[in-house]
Amino acid sequence: MNVRKSYLLTLLLSTCLFVPLQGNESPDRTPRDDWSEEQLLELANSVHQNNLTIDTHMDVPLVLKRPGFDISKEHSWQDHANQVDFPRMKKGGIDGGFFVVFEGQGPLTHEGRLKAINSGFETVDLIHTTVSKNADIASIATTSQDAYSIREQGKHVVFIGIENGYTIGRNIDLLKEYYDKGVRYFGVTHVKNNDLADSSTDPDGNLHMGLSDLGKAAIEECNRLGMMVDISHSSDKTAWDILELSATPVIASHSGCYACYPHPRNLNDALLREIAHRGGVVQMNMFSAYMMDVPKNEERSAAFKKWFETYRSGRELNESEKKASLEEYIALNKKYPKPLSSVSAVVDHIDHMVKVMGVDHIGISGDFDGGGGVEESMDIGQMMPITIEMLRRGYTEEDLRKFWGANVMRVLDACEEYAKGLEASS
């Protein structure tokens, strides 16, 4: 029996233990309706103090690229249009998470791909440089053991992920270079189709009808390296293709439930079940527009359209233009605050995931600095309300240990073990 078949047999046997719950409550999950807010907060603090807490999708590098930004200093969403820094991580009881190498989808041309590749590696290097400058309070992690060890040292944990396979162009050999630089998950698509696969939101529809041949090769290479595959932003067909092909469990680093709100970025129940069946994890996203109907505001839309045309046309901005861009962006957000969903809605999605998948296949991600945030939880320093609401609904401390880090670390371990098995057999 080859390593892939052996691994899949082991995975099939192990996932038989993960029987999805048939309701939102199990015998040991009783809502804490009679608890005071003070009691819930005390228990929430205990959960965060005693367990690894990881957010799997933070677009911090977009902010790190701003002139003069210092992640070691506390900022605010209102005054700085920024949602993540190390002081607020500590305030929110979050150990760390995945800093994302993101490249917006550009043209599928040689020039476009080359620009994305160069920018991707520059971003990885920027993450390393930032962590090195803050070595007293943060360290890079590439394994679950690293994460637990860094936490024990009292430091913040920084993993690295990729959002959008555009960062490799059409060269899957670059995945090894990214892996060697610490990247541990690979998000295949973003809001539009690329050379690898179809996106869930490309206005032009499908390009490949799922994974392209190049995309299939990229999934196999991720498996070989021990890199998690991220299906967030992928079309349903792309997600099914990945699930069928991948020899290891997959993650959705920031996704919600289609049954709770029918947005194409959300995952239907069939996909949720299959992800769980294959041992994977879905990290509940906190992007408000994926949880609610957003009221139309023509004045706000026109103002932001003008801003994008001025500062996001693809040309390089000089320092003064970058400063002006940020100042105008902050002013626009204050003048036209975007409609926000609620903490309750986030946990409604989690409740549905538990019903469909079971507690072993769920995690949490704010999608901060990438558009995420809901009322009362608008940055990484405001994550306690999520934990409090889950505790109020009767989730146990063990459930929350899994949601906040243990589940996704299990997937990371599985990918690493599979890659080691391949290497040993070669």
Q: In the structure encoding, which two tokens stand for residue 324, read together? A: 């002006």
Can you tell me whether residue 252 is helix, strand or coil?
Answer: strand
- pLDDT reported for residue 147: 98
Please report whether residue 82 resides in a domain.
Answer: yes
Q: Which pLDDT score is estimated for 317? A: 85
Is residue 320 in a domain? no
Distances (CA, A) of 361 to 58, 276, 281, 343: 20, 6, 4, 20
**Residue 242 to residue 248: CA distance in whole angstroms:** 10
φ, ψ of residue 51 to 5 degrees: the values are -135, 150
With 0-12 / 13-18 / 19 or more C-beta atoms within 10 angstroms meaning exposed / middle / buried, residue 179 is buried
The pLDDT of residue 313 is 76
C-alpha to C-alpha distance for 395 and 382, rounded to whole angstroms: 19
How far separated are the first and last CA of the chain, in Å rounded? Answer: 14
Q: pLDDT tens digits for 21-62?
A: 433 344 468 999 999 999 999 999 999 999 999 999 999 999
The reported pLDDT for the residue numbered 422 is: 94
DSSP string, 147-186: HHHHHHTT-EEEEEEEE-GGGGTT-TTHHHHHHHTTEEEE
So what's the pLDDT on residue 20? 41
Does residue 305 fall inside a structural domain?
no
CB of 387 closer than 8 Å to CB of 376: no
Query: The tokens of 82 are what?
Result: 């920024």
CA distance 197 to 217: 11
| Count: domains in the chain | 1
pLDDT tens, 87-140? 999 999 999 999 999 999 999 999 999 999 999 999 999 999 999 999 999 999
Task: Indicate the residue type of 359.
Answer: V
Residue at 315 is within a domain: no
C-alpha–C-alpha distance, residues 36 and 406, integer Å: 28
Whose CA is closest to 200, among 160, 252, 162?
252
**Backbone Cα Rg of the chain:** 21
CA–CA gap between residue 361 and residue 367 (Å, rounded): 18
Residues in Cβ contact with 382 at an 8 Å cutoff, skipping those fewer than 6 apart: 92, 376
Joined together, the tokens standing for residue 41 give 């907060």
Q: pLDDT below 70 — which residues of the chain?
A: 1-28
Residue 365 within a domain:
yes
DSSP letters, 41-107, are: HHHHHHHHHHS--EEEEE-HHHHHTSTT--TTS---HHHHS----HHHHHHTT--EEEEEEE-----
Return d(Cα 242, Cα 164) in angstroms, integer. Answer: 15
Q: Number of H helices and number of E strands within the chain?
A: 17, 9
Instruction: Judge whether 332 and 252 are in contact, CB under 8 Å.
Output: no
Helix axes 343-357, 384-392, angle to 10 degrees: 60
Q: What are φ and ψ of residue 199, in 5° steps?
A: -90, 160
Taking the alpha carbons of 315, 318, 324, 325 in that order, is the dihedral positive or negative?
positive
What's the whole-model pTM score?
0.93
Q: Which of 221, 214, 276 is nearest to 249 (CA)?
A: 276
Q: Is residue 223 part of a domain?
A: yes
Measured between alpha carbons, how far is 280 from 29 in angstroms, rounded to an integer?
23
Q: What is the pLDDT of residue 145?
A: 98
Q: What was the pLDDT predicted at 28? A: 65
**Domain containing residue 48: CATH number:** 3.20.20.140
- Has residue 87 been placed in a domain? yes
pLDDT on residue 23:
38
Domain range for residue 283?
3-294+338-425
